[in-house]
Amino acid sequence: MVCGAKYRSSRHGFATQVLWVRSPSADHADLEIEPTVKFDADLCYGDPETAVWDSEDSTQFFINTVEETVQREEAVRVEISASFQGLDADSFTIGKMSFAESRNPILIRSSVDEGWPYK
């Protein structure tokens, strides 16, 4: 079996807080928001209980694999440039959106990692 981590959006949510509004006008605003995103990640990895060490090749092999879904929640800062016409919700458009800060990848731990290194 070939394993690979993948994102699955079967359980997702979105809640946000507006941090600041810069240079608002009657038809444009730049916003910085911090949404909390909830997501599922499907993981597949070698089962550490079935690990075998090949001392000749200095390599570790796994006899079995584990598949599991983990749930995460992460807050990210996003900058948005929006335009609109007064209070008309249908006129609201996002012209540009980007992450406000350079981020490292979001780390996802499997159930095997829970409590590490204090198991």
How far, in Å, are 9, 54, 114 from residue 14 at the CA level?
A: 12, 46, 25
Q: Where do we find the tokens 């012209």?
A: 95
From CA 96, how far away is CA 80, in angstroms rounded?
Answer: 6
% pLDDT > 90, the chain: 7
Residue spans of the domains in the chain: they are 6-106
% pLDDT > 70, the chain: 72
The pLDDT tens digits for 25-54 are 888 888 888 888 888 888 888 888 899 999
Mean pLDDT rounded to a whole number for the chain:
76
- In a 10 Å sphere around its CB, with 0-12 CB exposed, 13-18 middle and 19+ buried, how is residue 71 labelled? exposed
Q: Where do we find the tokens 């810069």?
A: 22
With 50 as the cut, is the pLDDT of residue 84 above it? yes
- Specify whether the CB–CB gap between 45 and 89 falls below 8 A: no
From CA 68, how far away is CA 47, in angstroms rounded?
Answer: 11
